[in-house]
Structure formats: structure tokens, C-alpha cells
């Protein structure tokens, strides 16, 4: 077999079990592809020794029979996950040199299932960004280009390295995390599948915290089937995360029948934004028609508080971030500023955090500090939490009407150029999350599925939103959409 | 609500981030832009609405109050920028 790095999880699993290929061969193909792809800046810490050891162990296990689905599958891991003995920096200068003494629950579960770690993937600093331009490692480049134009494009963010690596076949799949759209927006920008599970489905233990009530990790893969398989290995209750749900993990792959006859798909009218590009509008209409043709019933619905989701998010997320990031004080881990004569502990904190945090992280920490400060707590933070309750209720009302899933665009545009937003107001960048952020606020599962190309040849994605804890049903609807859309385009290799 | 350079300086102080004096007006502008965006929330009628604490209604679980971990001094200090004699070291705090 050639081009083994181009396989997805399901194909590789089947080939491994048949003995047509070994994990060592898959791993070497990926390591070679990573070596050639420096221009994408997706992998930032490579772990070939760990990968080869894990692959050899996986091959032994597969030969013995009864190996789990993820056994022998080479993966990329977002830098936000703590991996024992391997740099885990959240793409921030403040965690320079940090090598965790422990392993995150999700990555531990993946290694226990026999998966192979190729290395750590670039991202926006502390997962704060929508274009992967806030990373201490530099920008990630999208493997896709606008036709013959060689201007570098963003892979989206914050899981930009994961998106770029999967789309460019540097790994079979990758982990991502999603606080306001950080799995789904980059997945849409590079033409792959990205799933944010229900809040509490996957343990947050050992994942560097951004906004704890919103953060959720999930798989970024080459197909819906792969997302179902990988979620099965990532999910599950963890006593070390008090918000992780004590629910059994179903066989998500078994839910993929492709039969969505009689399912009710809601089309929320508030997602039809002013100034939405005609191509996005058309993609959404096409996707609606595909689900209808597959036998689903299309229902127009209303989520009246949609407009307030982004402003509520940009109160709640920075507030939680300002608390979570208080731990970076130059005492216990990471960077400490060089101190001057007579500098005390306050100067140490202030200089360390000024040097260690990039501008976007500083901005969000300060916004969070402001909305939580005496006199503003009620006006901003409590009001935003109340609006969040209303946003969640909008979805509950839709589901109680019998809606099984909602279909929306994943992003308001295709991938834009790196640097194109440099002079824009920070709020302009935040608008990237307009279709995805509601899902985090309501704790729901959401999935981005590639559904077409724009006129410049760039991928566009659709988003499906499901009922809480019903990822199986959501994945099945996504599977039907994937079958109907038949998206098979790949970026032309230039790197 | 408008943030001036003095307020920006106070927020930076609370957040323990050193911001040079000359950067404060620009920071105030940026924060104002974001705060203005948040002001949209004032349009929403939130009377009688409970603020959300947890997206999944749940009572945090209790556990038995026993030691489950420990004796990891070396691992705890392994990443410290300055550790001495089994402790984190910081600049002098008490005069």
C-alpha cells in the first residue's frame, strides 16, 4: 500500500486487522509526511521515538487479536493537552519549557487503546483565536489555496494545527478542543470533519483550561465514521473531572446507518445573517435539500436569542479565562521574567505575565478581570449568565417540539488570508464564531461536515447541532449528509 | 460605560499584567470596543431569569475526605522556574 498517511481511521483499522499493513508502516508514512510539511507549521513538537515505540507495541497487540479500534492509529495531539514528559505549552510563551509530570485523561485513554502519538500540534495561544495567528510558534498555514494564488490562508482556530495536519494527511486524525467553535470552524476551513461533543462527555482533566464551563475536547477526522470511532475512545466518565458525566459510552459507530427517514431537522431563521455571502446561503440550502431527499422532515424554527450569543460568550469566556489563567504566576511552572534590583513578588507577577502572555490573551484576561470586578459583576457577568440561560432554553424549546437536529452553516465565510484581519477590530475576528458559539453556551454536541467548495476552490462546511448526550444520532445525521454531499476534494500539495 | 486610561491601568493592575504607561490609551480603546459589543446584552429582558452556573443541571459530587494522593514533591517542583530545598522560591515577600 502506498500513501498510508492518507488513510482514515476506519480504513487503517480494517487494514491493520487484515494484516495488510502494520502500525509501524502507518507511523513511518506519517513521520515522513510531517518531515516534508514544515511550511504548514502544524506540528510543533515531534515525538518520533514515542511514536515508534507505541507503534511496535500496537503491532504486537493487533497480532494477538482483539485490539481496540484505535490501536495502531497515528494521531496528532493539540498542544493544549498535557502529555507526560513532552512539551505542552498551549502555544504560549508563559509555558515555555513546561513538561507535564502527568498525562491528560483523554490522551491516556487514547494510548491505552493503542493509539500512536506523532507529536504536538500548533494552536492559538490558550485556544484564544479564530485564525491560529496568536500562537507563540507562529501562524499555521492552511494546505488549501485560492486557485493558483499562493497567498497563505488561515486554517482557522484555535485548533488550526490539528485542522491543517489532518487535511494535509500528516496524521490519520487529531485531537482538538472547542470553547466557542475551535474544532468546528477550523474543520470547515480545511474540509474535514470536526465534532464537539456534549459538555461533560469527555474529561477535561489535564487539558489546559480556557473557559471551564465551555471547554470540550473532540475528534478532528477525515470522515464522520472516523469521528464516531475516535469519540468512543476519548469519551467516558472521569472521577478527576467533577463535570464529566457518569454515562455509559455507546458504540457511536454502530449508530451510523445512514437512515434519517422521519427525522425532524430544524432550520433556525436567526442564522440567516445580514450580509451573509450568497455561497454560504446556497450551501445551506443545498444541505437542507440533501437531508430532505434522504427522508428527513425540514422544519423552520426560531432561536430568538441567537443574536446575543456572541456578546454573552465574550463576557463569560474571558471571565472564566481571567480566573483560570491566574495560575500563571511565574512560581510553579513555565516562564519567569528576569527581575530588576528591588523587584518584589508583585513585580514578578506583572512582568512575568506581560512577557509570557501575547496581546490577545492579555486583552481577554483584562476584559475578564473588568467584568468580574466590583461594581460590574452584575451588569456584565451575571447578565451574561442570564442570557446564557435564555440561549439554552431556545434550544430546549426546539427539541421539545420534536426537533432531532439543527442544520446551520459552520462559518460565515471560507478561509481568509493570514494577516488579512491584522488591522481589524478584535470584535471582527470574534464574528467567526457566530454560528458555533451558541452550541458551547448551551453545552450541546455539534459537528462540522465538509459540504462543498466555493468559487475560489476553498472548502465550506455545514454544522449539525444535536440533542445533549445523543452524539450517536447526531453522527448518523452527519453521516447521511456526508454521503449526500460526497465531498472528496483534497488540497493540491504545494508544501 | 467608558474605560479611560486610568481604568485601564487599574484593570491591568488587578490582572497583574505590566502595561507601559504609553500603551494605556490604546488598551483603553480596545477594551471600550469590546465593552461596547457587550452592551447589546442590555437589550435583553432578563427579569426573573436564573443565571446559569452549570450547563448540565448537576450537583457537584461529594467524595470521602481522605488522602488519595501525595508524596510527589519532586514531580510538583519539577517545572518550577526556581525551586530550592524542596520549596518554590520567590522574591522576598516579608520585610
**ipTM, two decimals:** 0.95
Give dist(CA B12, CA A53) in Å, integer: 47
pLDDT reported for residue A126:
98
Give dist(CA A321, CA B51) in Å, integer: 18
C-alpha distances in Å from residue A40, one per residue of A163, A174, A278: 11, 15, 30
pLDDT tens digits along A408-434: 999 999 999 999 998 888 888 888 899
Which chain B residue lies closest to A95 (C-alpha atoms)?
A: B79
Give dist(CA A386, CA A29) in Å, integer: 51
Diameter of chain A by CA atoms? 73
C-alpha distances in Å from residue A185, one per residue of A173, A196, A365, A423, A435: 16, 11, 23, 21, 9
SS (H, E, C) A85-97: CECCCCCCHHHCC
User: Could you tell me if B40 and A308 are in contact, meaning their C-beta atoms sit under 8 angstroms apart?
Assistant: yes
Q: Residue A62 half-sphere exposure, CB side, CA atoms within 13 Å? A: 26
Q: Is A164 a catalytic residue?
A: no
Cell of A287: 444541505
DSSP B32-63: HHHHHHHGGGGGS--TTPPPPS-SS--PPPP-
User: Could you tell me if A45 and A78 are in contact, meaning their C-beta atoms sit under 8 angstroms apart?
Assistant: no
With b for 16 or more beta-carbon neighbours within 10 A and e for fewer, the A154-165 pattern comes to bbbbbbbbbbbb
Å from B11 to nearest chain A CA?
6
Q: Is A78 a catalytic residue?
A: yes
pLDDT reported for residue A274:
82
Please identify among residues 421-480 of chain A the ones whose CB lies closer than 8 Å to any CB of chain B: 425-427, 430, 441-443, 468
| Stretch among A57-61, A474-478, B62-66 having the lowest mean pLDDT | B62-66
- Whether pTM exceeds 0.90: yes
Q: What percent of chain A has pLDDT over 70?
A: 100
Q: CA A396, A400, A406: angle at the middle one, nearest 5?
A: 65
Name the pLDDT band for B1 (thresholds 50, 70, 90): low
Å from A356 to nearest chain B CA?
10
| B91:A348 CB<8 A | yes
Mean pLDDT for all residues in chain A: 97
Give dist(CA A65, CA A7) in Å, integer: 21
Å from A427 to nearest chain B CA?
6
- pLDDT at A293 > cutoff 90: yes
Helices (H), A277-382: 278-293, 309-324, 345-356, 359-372
| Stretch among A1-5, A316-320, A392-396, A457-461 having the lowest mean pLDDT | A1-5
- Across the A:B interface, residue pairs with CB atoms under 8 Å apart total 163
Give SS3 for A195.
Answer: strand
Q: CA A454, A456, A457: angle at the middle one, nearest 5?
A: 65
Give dist(CA A444, CA A433) in Å, integer: 15
Question: Grid cell 442590555 — which residue?
Answer: B42
Checking phi first, is residue B58 left (phi over 0); if not, alpha (psi -120 to 50) or beta? beta
Give dist(CA A227, CA A217) in Å, integer: 12
Question: Grid cell 514515542 — which residue?
Answer: A50
State whether residue A369 sits within 8 Å of chain B by CB: yes
Cell of B78: 519539577
| B17:A354 CB<8 A | yes
Give dist(CA A492, CA A486) in Å, integer: 18
Q: Is A182 a catalytic residue?
A: yes
- pLDDT at A56 > cutoff 80: yes
Number of Cβ within a 10 Å radius of residue A346: 13
Over residues B14-19, the mean pLDDT reads 98
Question: Who among A315, A346, A369 is closest to B15 (CB)?
Answer: A369
Please identify among residues 251-290 of chain A the ones whose CB lies closer than 8 Å to any CB of chain B: none
- Which residue, among B2, B40, B41, would best test binding to A if mutated, counting the most A CBs under 10 Å from its CB? B41
pLDDT reported for residue A1:
57
| A390:B44 CB<8 A | yes
User: Could you tell me if A310 and A276 are in contact, meaning their C-beta atoms sit under 8 angstroms apart?
Assistant: no
Question: Alpha-carbon dihedral of residues A480, A482, A484, A485, nearest 10 degrees?
Answer: 160
pLDDT tens digits along B34-58: 999 999 999 999 999 999 988 887 7
| A333:B80 CB<8 A | yes
Question: Alpha-carbon dihedral of residues A115, A117, A118, A121, nearest 10 degrees?
Answer: 120
Count of all residues that appear for chain A in the document: 495
pLDDT reported for residue B94:
79
Q: CA B19, A213, A156: angle at the middle one, nearest 5?
A: 65
| A363:B61 CB<8 A | no
State whether residue A39 sits within 8 Å of chain B by CB: no
pLDDT tens digits along A180-212: 999 999 999 999 999 999 999 999 999 999 999
Classify the C-alpha dihedral A37-A115-A445-A84 as positive or negative: negative
| A354:B53 CB<8 A | no
Cell of A137: 510558534
Which DSSP state fits A137? T
User: Could you tell me if A356 and B19 are in contact, meaning their C-beta atoms sit under 8 angstroms apart?
Assistant: no
Give SS3 for A455.
Answer: coil
Over residues A330-357, the mean pLDDT reads 96
C-alpha distances in Å from residue A9, one per residue of A26, A46, A179, A344, A401: 11, 21, 25, 53, 36
Give dist(CA A253, CA B19) in Å, integer: 51
Over residues A24-30, the mean pLDDT reads 98
- pLDDT at A95 > cutoff 60: yes
- Which residue, among B24, B43, B55, B61, would best test binding to A if mutated, counting the most A CBs under 10 Å from its CB? B55
State whether residue B66 sits within 8 Å of chain A by CB: no
- pLDDT at A341 > cutoff 80: yes
Give dist(CA A70, CA A110) in Å, integer: 7
Mean pLDDT for all residues in chain B: 92
Question: Grid cell 486554517 — which residue?
Answer: A155
Q: Residue A262 half-sphere exposure, CB side, CA atoms within 13 Å? A: 1
Give dist(CA A11, CA A446) in Å, integer: 24
Please identify among residues 33-52 of chain B the ones whose CB lies closer than 8 Å to any CB of chain A: 33-35, 37-44, 46, 49-52
- Nearest C-alpha neighbor of A261 from the set A464, A487, A480, A482: A480
State whether residue B78 sits within 8 Å of chain A by CB: yes
pLDDT reported for residue A440:
98
Question: Alpha-carbon dihedral of residues A380, A383, A386, A387, nearest 10 degrees?
Answer: -80
Amino acid at each position: 500500500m502506498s500513501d498510508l498517511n492518507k488513510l482514515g481511521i476506519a480504513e487503517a483499522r480494517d487494514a491493520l486487522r487484515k494484516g495488510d499493513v502494520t502500525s509501524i508502516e502507518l507511523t513511518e508514512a506519517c513521520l515522513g509526511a510531517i518531515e516534508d510539511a514544515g511550511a504548514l507549521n502544524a506540528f510543533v513538537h515531534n515525538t518520533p521515538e514515542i511514536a515508534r515505540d507505541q507503534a511496535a507495541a500496537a503491532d504486537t497487540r493487533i497480532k494477538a487479536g482483539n485490539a481496540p479500534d484505535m490501536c495502531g492509529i497515528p494521531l496528532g495531539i493539540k498542544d493544549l493537552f498535557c502529555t507526560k514528559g513532552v512539551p505542552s505549552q498551549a502555544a504560549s510563551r508563559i509555558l515555555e519549557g513546561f513538561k507535564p509530570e502527568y498525562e491528560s485523561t483523554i490522551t491516556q485513554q487514547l494510548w491505552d487503546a493503542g493509539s500512536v502519538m506523532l507529536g504536538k500540534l500548533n494552536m492559538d495561544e490558550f485556544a484564544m483565536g479564530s485564525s491560529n495567528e496568536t500562537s507563540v510558534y507562529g501562524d499555521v498555514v492552511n494546505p488549501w489555496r485560492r486557485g493558483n494564488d499562493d497567498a497563505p490562508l488561515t486554517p482557522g482556530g484555535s485548533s488550526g494545527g490539528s485542522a491543517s495536519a489532518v487535511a494535509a494527511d500528516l496524521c490519520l486524525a487529531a485531537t482538538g478542543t472547542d470553547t466557542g467553535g475551535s474544532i468546528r470552524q477550523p474543520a470547515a476551513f480545511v474540509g474535514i470533519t470536526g465534532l464537539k461533543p456534549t459538555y461533560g462527555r469527555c474529561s477535561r482533566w489535564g487539558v489546559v483550561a480556557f473557559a471551564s464551563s465551555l471547554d470540550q475536547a473532540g475528534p478532528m477526522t477525515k470522515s464522520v465514521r472516523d469521528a464516531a470511532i475516535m469519540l468512543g475512545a476519548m469519551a467516558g466518565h472521569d472521577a478527576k473531572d467533577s463535570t464529566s458525566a457518569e454515562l455509559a459510552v455507546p458504540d457511536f459507530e454502530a449508530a451510523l446507518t445512514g437512515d434519517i427517514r422521519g427525522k425532524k431537522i430544524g432550520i433556525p431563521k436567526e442564522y440567516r445573517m445580514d450580509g451573509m455571502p450568497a455561497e454560504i446561503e446556497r450551501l445551506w440550502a443545498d444541505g437542507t435539500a440533501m437531508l430532505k431527499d434522504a427522508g428527513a422532515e425540514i422544519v423552520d424554527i426560531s432561536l430568538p436569542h441567537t443574536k446575543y450569543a456572541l456578546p454573552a460568550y465574550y463576557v463569560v469566556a474571558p471571565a472564566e479565562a481571567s480566573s483560570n489563567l491566574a495560575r500563571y504566576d511565574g512560581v510553579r511552572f513555565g516562564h519567569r521574567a528576569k527581575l530588576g534590583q528591588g523587584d518584589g513578588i508583585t513585580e514578578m507577577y506583572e512582568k512575568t505575565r506581560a512577557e509570557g502572555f501575547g496581546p490577545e490573551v492579555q486583552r481577554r484576561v483584562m476584559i475578564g478581570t473588568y467584568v468580574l470586578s466590583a461594581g460590574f459583576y452584575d451588569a456584565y457577568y451575571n447578565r451574561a449568565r442570564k442570557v446564557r440561560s435564555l440561549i439554552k432554553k431556545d434550544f430546549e424549546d426546539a427539541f421539545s417540539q420534536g426537533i432531532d437536529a439543527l442544520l446551520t452553516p459552520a462559518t460565515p465565510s471560507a478561509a481568509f488570508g493570514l494577516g488579512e484581519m491584522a488591522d481589524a477590530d478584535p470584535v471582527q475576528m470574534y464574528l467567526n464564531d457566530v454560528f458555533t458559539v451558541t452550541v458551547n453556551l448551551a453545552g450541546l454536541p455539534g459537528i462540522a461536515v465538509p459540504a462543498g467548495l466555493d468559487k475560489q476552490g476553498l472548502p465550506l462546511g455545514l454544522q449539525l447541532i444535536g440533542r445533549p448526550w445523543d452524539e450517536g444520532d447526531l453522527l448518523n445525521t452527519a453521516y447521511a449528509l456526508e454521503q449526500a454531499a460526497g465531498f472528496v476534494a483534497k488540497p493540491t500539495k504545494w508544501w | 460605560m467608558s474605560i479611560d486610561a486610568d481604568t485601564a491601568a487599574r484593570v491591568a493592575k488587578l490582572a497583574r499584567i505590566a502595561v507601559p504607561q504609553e500603551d494605556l490609551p490604546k488598551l483603553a480603546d480596545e477594551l471600550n470596543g469590546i465593552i461596547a459589543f457587550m452592551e447589546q446584552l442590555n437589550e435583553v429582558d432578563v427579569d426573573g431569569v436564573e443565571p446559569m452556573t452549570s450547563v448540565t443541571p448537576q450537583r457537584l459530587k461529594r467524595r470521602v475526605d481522605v488522602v488519595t494522593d501525595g508524596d510527589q514533591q519532586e514531580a510538583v517542583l519539577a517545572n518550577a522556574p526556581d525551586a530550592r530545598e524542596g520549596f518554590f522560591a520567590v522574591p522576598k515577600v516579608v520585610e
